[in-house]
Structure 1
Amino acid sequence: METFIYPDDVLTTAGRLWIEVVDFAIAYSFSVLGAIILIIAGFIVAGALQRWTYRGLGRFPSFDETLRRFLSKVIRYSVLVLVGVTVLAQFGVQTASIIAALGAVGLAIGLALQGTLQNIAAGIMLLVLKPFRVGEYIDAGGIAGTVQEIGLFATELTTFDGVYVLTPNSELWNRAVTNYSRNPTRRHDLAIRIGFEDDINRACDILMELALADKRVLAVPAPETMVTEIRDSDVIVNLRYWTAASDYWSVRFALNKAAKLAFDKNGITIPYPQHSVHYTPRDASSAPAK
């Protein structure tokens, strides 16, 4: 049996569809308009907060530049995520499920990038606590060099012989760091061996004269000399002095050379390590008979 569609039915159906489209447009027009306004306002607010945070942290002279940029971007993207969730809520989307999904995605990413996140966390702690700064010479369990840059993931160093080293921040954070440049002054003990027959007082006087003659040696704390040890084959005389951290190596090398030349000039010896062996011949009469 054939079915006939009359023109009146077609018009009625089209009219109903048009009415539904109009109702849908009216119902969601305010939601679309509100979503557009939220997106525009969200980008404006996110940018403004990023700039305010960056400028506000810049008022603290000791606050690191890398950390300023990182925190300001975190605030910007946090606002944008909040705006995105709010826009979806305008259209009746269940935001609770979206937040749960974002949490699950964040957890998965955190597990996948566990090592990277450790470096980021360590980088933030290094930037906040500042165990070392750019330009300082450090040694962290064998990782030694002058700090060139402290990033969120890794720290760049240059060794004393000019070799580039890139170290993950977690490696530096989990080790004891010795900072040779942080304090303005450093102490050095110049210990020299002399013979038993040499004049100890004269040796100490020579070392003191050398220290007082070098203007890079600090007057406070004052340099001092002492006999630190008497060993089997020599006596240890020691010159203890303080100098600026920047002059430490140059003064050390200069005084080493000057001390050797002064001791040679004054006849004070620097003995070689030696052992005395005493031989006592046996009496032939006491030897057992064969």
Structure 2
Amino acid sequence: MNDLNDLLDQGSEWGPWLVDIAIGLAAGIVIFFVGRFLAKKIAKWCERRMLKSNVDKAVAGFTSSIVYALIFAASTLMALGQVGVQTTSFIAILGAAGLAIGLALQGSLSNFASGVLIILLRPFRAGDFIDAAGQMGVVDRIELFHTELKTPDNRVVIIPNSSIMGGSIVNFSREATRRLDLVIGISYESDIRLAKELLEGILNSEDRILKDPAYVIAVGELADSSVNFNVRPWVKSEDYWGVRADLLEKIKYTFDENGVGIPYPQMDVHVTKAD
């Protein structure tokens, strides 16, 4: 009987403590999930506001990622505080373990630092067509640790920011105009003057080719199987691929109609009969 009374007395003492723990745990869980929900909403709201203010899409996406990370971290610390974890001690422990974490996450920290450099140096913007880290595509978003590209066939390529900043970046959209570099070969039997006149007529008839700078048509090489012309017109950047395809098609049809041969690699074999 005395043992039962002792258990009841202990239960009455532990009851409030258990209730406090349960309430703190429930409050911590609620704070964590509400904080994460608010972090997403606030980050999206910030991104929309920045886009409405004509801020570059890449910068808006990067900034919203930072806002989300800060609010989420603050919510996590508040949740831990409600559970009973001493956040000051927790922060101190994180600070002490910072070196080890930094060594373990060298790649992630390098990607973050590279993301900051991309935003500051602005080698490209959202919507630019670039060649970086061996991938070509249109820049869609710049996140904390990676950059998203969309390829012409609508694939999404995710590249670590450090890989982008660690190599060459070719931005095809930075300048308003681009030069087409075509090499057109004709056979040695064809008339060079006629071929040049035909090329000039094709370029003059194409409205998308710019008058300034003027195009260039010149014999570039007497190759093994052909006489090669360098054809170099200037176009607007957005017209580059369309004009290139149309010119190649027109050149082929025009040369065929006027008897100008476009050769293919060939080899002459001479057979000598021995006595």
* Alignment TM class, shorter chain as reference: 0.5 to 0.7
* Map of 1:117 onto structure 2: 109
Determine the C-alpha separation between the residues in 1 that align with 2:183 and 2:244: 11
* Map of 2:139 onto structure 1: 147
Specify whether residues 228 and 172 from structure 1 end up closer, same or farther in structure 2 by C-alpha distance, changes over 3 A only: same
AA matched with 1:184: A
Determine the C-alpha separation between the residues in 1 that align with 2:246 and 2:54: 41
* Map of 1:65 onto structure 2: 60
1:129-208, aligned counterparts within 5 Å? 129-208=121-200
Give the Å deviation of 1:144.
1.8
Task: Say whether residues 1:231 and 2:226 are aligned partners.
Answer: no
Determine the C-alpha separation between the residues in 2 that align with 1:231 and 1:111: 56
* Map of 1:90 onto structure 2: none
| Residue-by-residue CA offset, 1:228-270 (whole Å, 9 max, x unaligned) | 1112322112211111111000000000000001101111011
| Residue-by-residue CA offset, 1:111-164 (whole Å, 9 max, x unaligned) | 333222111111111111111111111112422211111111111111121111
| Residue-by-residue CA offset, 1:46-99 (whole Å, 9 max, x unaligned) | xxxxxxxx9xxx79967922454567789999xx9xxxxxxxxxxxxxx9x999
Range 273-282 or range 178-187, more displaced: 273-282
Task: Say whether residues 1:274 and 2:269 are aligned partners.
Answer: no
| Residue-by-residue CA offset, 1:205-245 (whole Å, 9 max, x unaligned) | 11111111111111111012111111232211221111111
Say if 2:59 and 2:142, in contact at 8 Å, map to a contact too. no
Give the Å deviation of 1:272.
2.5
Say if 1:187 and 1:242, in contact at 8 Å, map to a contact too. yes
Identity %: 43
Say if 1:263 and 1:269, in contact at 8 Å, map to a contact too. yes
SS of residue paired to 1:64: helix
Determine the C-alpha separation between the residues in 1 that align with 2:272 and 2:162: 65
SS of residue paired to 2:97: helix
- Provide the aligned length of Structure 1 versus Structure 2: 212
Mark the structure with the bigger radius of gyration.
Answer: 1
Determine the C-alpha separation between the residues in 1 that align with 2:182 and 2:271: 37
- Unpaired segments ≥5 residues, structure 2: 1-45, 75-87
Specify whether residues 192 and 105 from structure 1 end up closer, same or farther in structure 2 by C-alpha distance, changes over 3 A only: same
249, 253, 256: which one aligns with 1:261: 253
Specify whether residues 179 and 264 from structure 1 end up closer, same or farther in structure 2 by C-alpha distance, changes over 3 A only: same
* Map of 1:47 onto structure 2: none
Say if 2:62 and 2:142, in contact at 8 Å, map to a contact too. no
Range 253-262 or range 237-246, more displaced: 237-246
Determine the C-alpha separation between the residues in 1 that align with 2:133 and 2:147: 15
After superposing on structure 2, the runs of 4+ consecutive aligned residues of structure 1 that deviate more than 3 Å are 58-63, 66-77, 97-103
- TM-score (norm: length of structure 2): 0.67
Determine the C-alpha separation between the residues in 2 that align with 1:127 and 1:272: 48
* Map of 2:36 onto structure 1: none
Determine the C-alpha separation between the residues in 2 that align with 1:194 and 1:60: 51
Say if 1:203 and 1:237, in contact at 8 Å, map to a contact too. no
AA matched with 2:59: D
